[in-house]
């Protein structure tokens, strides 16, 4: 009955009245408060009035070891209590309704999401994207101390991004400035791409505490993404070996297999000993030709995910030796962000999302920077839905023919999703420079091979 009610509240409003009455009778039978059926009551408020329920919410949805027992020995009352508590926490988190959202409603949702995480066997904030695992549990969890974190893949895979998406959707339905003006409420927000997009769009209208809180959220998100991208850059292959440089004769470079093979003629059967008259070492030096990286980013609203990722990626490559990085952002106007390329946070604050796209204005800034084409790579990130498409393509083809490496990028996101103008896609393919689209690891691999 309780699970039927759960589904009905999510999908079939016509069934709700009868199921509410029946569910109330079920709760009375097992001694649970009627507040569990009140969609307007947060889990916090229920637990405050009935503190004995706190322990029952903890680890509520963690799979238990199945025990075979006769049907007449099942604890049916416990099963019903569990159904009621599971329904409460799921409905409060996932049935968010529609219409305007107040700051208080957002705060209650964040609290309820914390109770869902407790039910999954985690600490509040541990499942949601952008939070720090291992943070101490908040008051009212009913736990007795630290415990090992469960394998979330055995519970509800990928629930963290889903919770972040719900939170971002709630923020979009309320006055964001109201949230940012409250430091406690703003600190509870989970940084996500959709939230960062809203902050970047509204940053010029913020001031004082709200602006400071918005910057703190953007900084948190940038730092988290940068940490992931640095790992991917470190793992990517790094150019070709430079065999013109003699290998260093140190033990860590010693090629034992080759040394043994080359000295087999010195084997003494009588002594059963191999005499080595020459040691062989591995080449480890790689070509480090000074290179220039020019990143051009479409800052229209449809490209915000790629813009954030590539702005951070440009700053990482700017920190590599002998790599001269330039960054240009454009919509119908272009801005040279090179002076701030080492700090993606400051770079993003200087962007202006939205508007149309005219890549020719960006090309006017980028083309003069191609001073030594053979040592230059131009990365152009856009969905290529351009106002003057044919003119821009001819300019891009000219950069490619000059000898510079031209990499058109349709989408480099964390999820790998994106759309590219098919007209541009086919012409880039004919030019021999196919569009990179998908996970950002693809672009990292291309750039690392060329630059390092």
Apex 72 CA angle, 69 and 73, nearest 5: 50
Q: Which residue has better confidence, 86 or 126? A: 86
Taking only the tens place, the pLDDT of each residue in 74-100 is 788 888 888 889 988 888 888 888 777
Q: For residue 55, give both structure tokens.
A: 């322990």
- Taking the CA atoms of the chain, what radius of gyration do you get in angstroms? 29
**Helix-then-strand count for the chain, H and E:** 18, 8
Please say whether the beta carbons of 147 and 89 come within 8 A.
no
Q: Specify whether the CB–CB gap between 450 and 405 falls below 8 A.
A: yes
- Of 285, 286, 282, 284, the closest CA to residue 239 belongs to 286
Element (DSSP H or E) covering residue 381: strand 376-381
Pick the most confident of 56-65, 117-126, 251-260: 251-260
Q: Is 116:93 a contact under the CB 8 Å cutoff?
A: yes
Side-chain half-sphere exposure of 201, counting CA atoms within 13 A: 16
Write down all domains in the chain, each with its CATH number in brackets.
1-63+74-130+159-172 (no CATH), 291-451 (3.40.50.410)
> Is a pLDDT exceeding 70 seen at residue 373?
yes
Q: What is the pLDDT of residues 289-328, one digit of tens each?
A: 557 889 888 876 556 666 777 777 777 777 766 778 898 9
The pLDDT tens digits for 236-255 are: 444 455 565 677 777 878 88
DSSP code of residue 72: G
For the ranges 40-54, 56-70, 266-280, 423-437, the lowest mean pLDDT is seen at 56-70
Supply angle C-alpha 134, 132, 136, rounded to 5: 35
Nearest Cα residue to 412 out of 305, 316, 333: 305
To the nearest 10 degrees (0 to 180), the angle between helices 304-318 and 193-202 is 90
């Amino acid at each position: 009955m309780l699970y039927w009610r759960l589904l009905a509240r999510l999908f079939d409003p016509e069934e709700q009245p009868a199921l509410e009455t029946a569910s109330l009778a079920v709760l009375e039978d097992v001694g649970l408060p009627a507040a569990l059926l009140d969609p307007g009551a947060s889990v916090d408020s229920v637990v405050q009035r009935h503190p004995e329920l706190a322990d029952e919410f903890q680890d509520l949805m963690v799979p238990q070891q199945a025990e075979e027992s006769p049907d007449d020995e099942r604890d049916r009352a416990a099963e019903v209590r569990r159904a009621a508590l599971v329904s409460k926490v799921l409905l409060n988190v996932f049935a968010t309704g529609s219409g305007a959202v107040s700051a208080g409603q957002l705060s209650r949702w964040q609290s309820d999401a914390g109770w869902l995480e407790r039910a999954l066997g985690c600490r509040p904030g541990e499942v949601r994207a952008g939070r720090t695992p291992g943070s101490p549990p908040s008051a009212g969890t009913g736990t007795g101390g630290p415990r090992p974190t469960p394998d979330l893949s055995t519970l509800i895979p990928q629930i963290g991004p889903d919770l972040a998406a719900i939170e971002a959707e709630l923020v979009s339905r309320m006055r964001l400035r109201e949230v940012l003006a409250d430091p406690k409420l703003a600190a509870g927000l989970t940084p996500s791409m959709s939230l960062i997009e809203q902050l970047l769009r509204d940053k010029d209208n913020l001031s004082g505490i709200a602006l400071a809180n918005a910057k703190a959220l953007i900084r948190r998100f940038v730092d988290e993404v940068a940490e992931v991208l640095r790992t991917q850059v470190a793992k990517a292959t790094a150019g070709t070996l430079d065999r013109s440089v003699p290998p260093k004769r140190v033990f860590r470079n010693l090629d034992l297999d080759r040394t043994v093979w080359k000295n087999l003629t010195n084997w003494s059967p009588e002594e059963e000993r191999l005499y080595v008259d020459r040691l062989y070492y591995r080449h480890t030096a790689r070509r480090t030709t000074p290179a220039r990286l020019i990143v051009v980013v479409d800052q229209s609203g449809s490209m915000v995910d790629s813009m954030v990722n590539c702005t951070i990626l440009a700053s990482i490559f700017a920190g590599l030796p002998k790599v001269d990085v330039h960054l240009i952002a454009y919509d119908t106007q272009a801005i040279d962000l090179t002076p701030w390329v080492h700090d993606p946070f400051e770079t993003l604050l200087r962007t202006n999302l939205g508007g149309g796209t005219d890549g020719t204005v960006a090309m006017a800034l980028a083309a003069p920077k191609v001073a030594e084409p053979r040592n230059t790579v131009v990365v152009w990130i856009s969905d290529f839905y351009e106002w003057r498409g044919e003119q821009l393509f001819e300019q891009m083809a000219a950069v490619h023919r000059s000898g510079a490496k031209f990499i058109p990028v349709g989408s480099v996101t964390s999820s790998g999703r994106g759309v590219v103008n098919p007209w541009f896609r086919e012409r880039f393919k004919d030019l021999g420079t196919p569009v990179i689209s998908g996970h950002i690891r693809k672009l990292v691999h291309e750039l690392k091979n060329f630059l390092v």
